[in-house]
Amino acid sequence: MNDVLILLGIGLIAGFLSGLIGIGGGIIIVPVLVYVLHLNQQEAQGTTLFMFLLPIASLSVYNYYKAGQVNMKVAAIMACTFIIGGYLGSKTALAVDTKLIKQIFAASIIAIGIKMLLDK
């Protein structure tokens, strides 16, 4: 039962942050699944991707669309190659040691954070 409450809390917080500032999956959910619920990195990533199947195409996108804040052409073009990139990335992640994936994940978050902090 305790794990269920943790998962419900993660979902609520990540959903809120996703709607608010466009983050949630990689930055919130994956680390909690790894460090609190002790899933390995690949399992946490796969679980998070599966969780996104329905919610991403629902109310949060609808709110942005309704407010005129979705560029359909840009989204459609990126979606075509995102499918291929996601497939190739998942195959690579499953073939690489968990520790290396964690390091790549952490370095990515740090690099993006620094870039955003220093951006004018």
The domain ranges of the chain are 2-118
* Percentage of the chain lying above the pLDDT 70 cut: 98
pTM to 2 decimals? 0.71
Average pLDDT value for the chain:
86
pLDDT, tens only, 93-117:
899 998 998 898 889 889 988 998 9
**pLDDT in the model for residue 62:** 87
Cβ neighbour number for residue 31 with a 10 Å cutoff: 17
Closest by Cα among 60, 61, 66, 69 to 16: 60
pLDDT, tens only, 44-93:
988 888 888 777 767 778 888 999 998 899 888 888 888 898 899 889 98
Closest by Cα among 35, 24, 22, 45 to 104: 45
Q: 93 and 45 in contact (C-beta within 8 Å)?
A: yes
**pLDDT in the model for residue 91:** 92
